[in-house]
Structure formats: structure tokens, C-alpha cells
Amino acid sequence: MTATQTSALVACEERLCAFVRRHTGLRIHDHQLENLRRTMQEAFARFGHTSCDSYLRALESAGAASPEHEHLIAGITIGESYFFRDQSQMDFLRQVFLPELIERRRRQDERYLRIWSAGCSDGQELYSLAIILQQLLPDIDRWNLHLLGTDINAASLSRAMRGRYSGWSFRATPEALRQQYFGPDGDQAWQIAPQLRRRAKFSYLNLNEDSFPSILTETNSLDLILCRNVFIYFDPGVVLQIMAKLNACLVPGGCLLLGTSDLIDSAAQEGFELHALANAFYLIRGHDAPPDAGFAASRREIPPPEPAKRAAAAPLLPSAAGTPLAEPQEIIALLGAESWAQALQAITQRQQAGDSSAMIWQFRAKALANLGRRREALAACDQSLAIDPADKHTHFIRALVLLELNRLPAAEDALRRTLYLDRNFAEAHFQLGLLQLRRDRRPAGLKSLRNALAIADTTAPDRRLHDAAGMNHGRMAAILRNELEIYQQLPGGKKK
Ligand SMILES: C[S@@+](CC[C@H](N)C(=O)[O-])C[C@H]1O[C@@H](n2cnc3c(N)ncnc32)[C@H](O)[C@@H]1O
């Protein structure tokens, strides 16, 4: 290689490293350069690029769904994982955190758990949780379990969905467990039991993007997040941002587990309490965690009412406490700022003063839903719909609450009502798609996701989703493209 060729190669590597860092948050260290070089050369040959410019253009322009992009991510990410990794943490979950959470939910007569494995690789971590829950819940079929695994590597996600593993993945798994929850599948491979596979959901999510917390990515109101052995190659500044967003994904008292090698700066623990039990370290979201204004845009969970429905109703009595009543616009601002408790207080005062409009009940439903008071939120939706049965936003809020409660047939009905009122409600198509996939209706689910994509694609990319869903149409289109791509890679997943 001539000196000119060598310096062109080095320049190309540098540009590629910068792209990787910008897009994924990952920092390529010197010892990984060889791997990056190999991946790049392979890409040139496979996709017919003759220059660095054309390769980088393909990476930049087509986004995460392009074959170049997938190939690059598969080449540079390290997906090492195995079942029941980190015995101390698994013991903590099995013996302490999950039994206590389950007991608390039973006392409240609630049967749901929301768990996310972020950076899930081939799914071993999430399936380990599914096995633990199978052991802890004798009445598991009566529980609503939201078990979500996400990763940036589409090939890993396909393997996770398939649920087939070689012996190396079982190096920390007792033989009896493997026998009980896996069936032999060909040469030295094991297939996860179908009921466990059905319980887990896998989807694309880049931790370096603003797509969480959000109902669209199902990363809101979580009880437990495992983000283990993911931060090791990240830029420290990026880790700080991700930690704040993970905090916002959890309910107060929710738990985040990191890997033992994920050394993080103490600033990243803001909003968390650090605990240790035996050898397991874990972080708990404090009950008074500050609202993370920096990520407010990605935290909106439930949309506000349509502007047309925002006008105040009849004149109201002064508040009993003599304090001025909040105007609807002020309540909208409080909801927009996610000051749920304050908004609820203002709403209650207006209701006590005689405001019984559909709008105020809708506001109430939204605040209650975001405070995790799901049953009361449903009752407030019902009150609102009794006055105005044709409000698509109230139907949508109701659908989201029902989804969180895993009441899937009722949630589906509410989403269909939303779409009956507005065929172009992209988020409703999106949620309907996810719901149908969860109900094993793959063609219908993919069709709904494609509907959502078609709407998102014909809308200005920077237009917010119903002005408060935390994302714009461009971002939703990118998420949908990835989701569809992954499903199409699965057996029987070809586009119809
Ligand atoms: C070493 S594996 C950890 C798997 C599992 N959490 C465990 O501890 O066994 C790290 C995973 O993080 C994923 N990852 C890396 N960068 C990511 C990003 N920006 N967003 C989402 N996942 C990412 C990689 O694709 C890989 O699957």
C-alpha cells in the first residue's frame, strides 16, 4: 500500500469512528481499530463501494435501516451474553427485589410487572428474567407481564426472537433449569420453551437516541431495567445522559441494574439511591427524583387534548381555599411540563368548583395515568367519554392505560375507536400494530405498523406527535422502519 493509500485509509477510519460515536455513543478504542477496518473492507466489497465518501454517504443517508448500517453495527458491537449472568444480581432479583414487588402488587390487587433489558444482545438476559418469574409466580397466567428486550444490533434481535442457543450461553445455568425450560434443537443447540418466548418482546432501540422513555417504545413506567455490560465502550458524557433517561423510565422505587464493569461517574447516579446487598449493587429511583427537564421532550407519555376542546366551560365558584383557580391553559402547561401531581391538584380544585367538562376529566385521566393510578385514570376516561364520546384523545389515553394493564382486547377496542374517529392517527396505528404482534397476529400487526409508517412518511418529519408524544414523525418513522425490518428477517416475515 502506498503512503497516499495509507493516509486515505486512516482518514476514512477517523470519519467512520466519528460517525459511530455520533450515531451510537460508542467510542472505538485502539484495540478495536483492526475490527473496524475489517468491517469497513468487508462492507466495501459486499455493497460495492469504491470510496470512503460513498460508504459514509450510504451510512448517513439511509439511516439505521440500511444494510450498510446493520452490517456496521453487527461488526462493531460486542454481544457477549449468557443466561443468569452475575449470580449475585440474579439472587437479588430472585430472592429480594421481585418477591417484594410481587407481594406489594398482590396487596394492591394489581397483577402487572414492567421490565426492560436495555442492550439485550441475543436475549439471554430477558429470558433469564422470564424463567425467574415463571418460578416466582404460580399464577403467572393471571399476570400482565411486560418483558421488553431492546438492542441496536438487528441481527442480535432476530436471534433473540428466535430463542435458539448454543451450549456456551448456558455456562452459568444449572442443568436442571436448562432441561426444564429449553428443548434440544439440532446439533448442540437448545430452543427456549414457547410460553417463555411468547412472553418476551424484542425491538430495536438505540440508547444514544431520544426515543425513551416513551409509550411508543414501551419504555415508560418500568419497575426494573437491566442495562448491564453496555456502557463499557460508551463515551462518559453519553452515559450521563442515558442514565438520566433511564431514571425517567422507572416508576419511583423502580430498580436499575448495571454490569459490574459499567463503572459510572457518581454524577450519573443523580436521582438514584445506590444500594448493595451481598455482592449485588443496584440503583433505586428515588421517590422525589427531580423532573429531568433536559429530557422533557422525550418523556411525554400521554397526549394532551385537542386545542378545540380546550376552552373553559361555565363560570366556576372560587376555590374553597380562596386561591385562584388554574385556567385550562395553565393546567395544559403543567401537564406539558409533566408536573403531574401539581396538575392533579389544580384539576381537583376546578372540579370542586364545578367544572365537570369532558376536557377536565380528560386532563384528570392523563395526570392519573402518568402518576401510575391506572384504575382511577380509566374511571376518569369513562367520565370524559360519557360527556364527549367522540374525543379521539380520550379513547387513546384509555387505550394506553389498558395496554399498561395488559388488558389487550379492551385496549384493542379503544385503539380501533380512536382510529374510527381519525384514520390518520399514526400513534394509534403504531400501538395497534404492537398490540397485534403481542397477540401473535403477525400479518395484521405488520399491516398496522406499515399504516403508521405511511402516515409518518407523509407528515413533516419534525412535526411532533400530537404535540406531546415526545417524538416527532421522523423519529417514529425510523423506529417503525427498524421494527419492520427485524420482523421481516424472521422466518415467514416477508412483506406481503
Ligand atoms: C455485552 S452485550 C450485553 C448483553 C447483556 N446486557 C448482558 O449483560 O449479558 C452489550 C449489548 O449492548 C448493545 N449496544 C451497544 N451500543 C448500543 C446502543 N447505542 N444502543 C443499544 N444497544 C447498544 C450491543 O449491541 C450489545 O448487544
280-285/272-277 β-pairing: antiparallel
272, 294, 316 - which closes a domain: 294
Choice from 28, 93, 121 to test ligand 1 binding pocket (greatest atom count within 8 A of CB): 121
Instruction: Answer yes or no: is the C-beta of 121 below 6 A from any ligand 1 atom.
Output: yes
Residues 286 and 377 in one domain: no
Q: For the residues 207-212, what does the mean pLDDT come to?
A: 90
Q: Tell me the sheet residues that pair with 27.
A: none
d(CA 267, CA 368): 31
Is the pLDDT at 50 greater than 80? The verdict is yes
Q: Are residues 278 and 392 in the same domain?
A: no
Q: Look at residues 27, 47, 76 and tell me which one is the last residue of a structural domain.
A: 76
The residue to mutate among 85, 152, 231, having the most atoms of ligand 1 within 8 angstroms of its beta carbon, is: 152
206 CA: nearest ligand 1 atom: 20
Does the CB atom of residue 418 touch ligand 1 within 6 A?
no
How far is ligand 1, taken at its centre, from the CA of residue 119, in Å? 3
Distance 110 CA to ligand 1 centre (A): 32
d(CA 64, CA 23): 9
Among the ranges given (86-90, 192-196, 480-484, 485-489), the one the predictor scored with the smallest mean pLDDT: 485-489
User: Cα(232) to centroid of ligand 1, in Å?
Assistant: 9
Q: Whose CA is nearest to atom 10 of ligand 1?
A: 230
Cβ of 152 closer than 6 Å to ligand 1, yes or no, is yes
User: Which has the higher per-residue pLDDT, 447 or 490?
Assistant: 447
Asked whether the predicted pLDDT for residue 411 surpasses 80, the reply is yes
Q: Are residues 285 and 311 in the same domain?
A: no
364 within domain boundaries: yes
pLDDT at 496: 40
- Output the average pLDDT for the chain: 85
Task: Give the position, in ligand 1's atom list, of the atom nearest the Cα of 24.
Answer: 19
Compute φ and ψ for 211, nearest 5 degrees. Answer: -100, 15
384 and 262 inside one domain? no
280 CA → ligand 1 middle, Å: 20
Decide: 85 in ligand 1 pocket, CB within 6 A.
yes
Three-state SS at 159: helix
How far, in Å, from the CA of 151 to the mean position of ligand 1? 6
Query: Is 387 found in the same domain as 258?
Result: no
For ligand 1, atom 7: residue with the closest CA: 81
Q: How far is the CA of 233 from the centre of ligand 1 (A)?
A: 10
Domain containing 46: what range? 3-76
Q: Judge if 397 and 316 occupy the same domain.
A: yes
Q: Could you tell me the distance, in angstroms and rounded to a whole number, from the CA of residue 456 to the centre of ligand 1?
A: 28
Supply the angle between the helices 33-47 and 3-24 in degrees, to the nearest 10: 100
Ligand 1 pocket, residue 80 CB under 6 Å: yes
**In the predicted structure, residue 87 carries a pLDDT above the cut 70:** yes
The answer as to whether 389 is a domain residue is yes
Measured in Å, residue 269 CA sits from the centre of ligand 1 at: 20
SS3 call for 358:
helix
Q: Are residues 352 and 478 in the same domain?
A: yes
Q: Is the peptide bond before 409 cis (omega within 30 degrees of 0)?
A: no
Contact 452, 424 (CB under 8 A): no
**Are 34 and 110 part of one and the same domain?**
no
Q: In CATH, what number is assigned to the domain containing residue 259?
A: 3.40.50.150
> pLDDT tens digits, residue range 217-262?
889 889 999 999 999 888 888 999 999 999 999 988 999 999 977 8
Q: How many domains would you assign to the chain?
A: 3
Same domain, 216 and 96: yes
Q: Does the C-beta of 222 come closer than 6 Å to ligand 1?
A: no
pLDDT of amino acid 140: 96
- Minimal-distance CA residue to ligand 1 atom 12: 119
Task: Report which ligand 1 atom has the smallest distance to the Cα of 205.
Answer: 21
The predicted-structure confidence for 283-339, as pLDDT tens digits, reads as follows 999 875 433 322 222 222 344 444 334 334 455 555 555 678 889 999 998 887 778
- In this structure, the residue with its CA closest to atom 17 of ligand 1 is 152
CATH number at residue 342: 1.25.40.10
Are residues 97 and 65 part of one domain? no
Tell me the CA distances in angstroms from 199 to 10, 81, 141, 169, 176, one per residue in order: 46, 20, 10, 20, 21
Specify whether 131 is located in the same domain as 212.
yes
| Closest Cα to atom 27 of ligand 1 | 121
Do residues 356 and 424 share a domain?
Answer: yes
Question: Helix (H, G, I), strand (E, B), or coil: what is residue 238?
Answer: helix
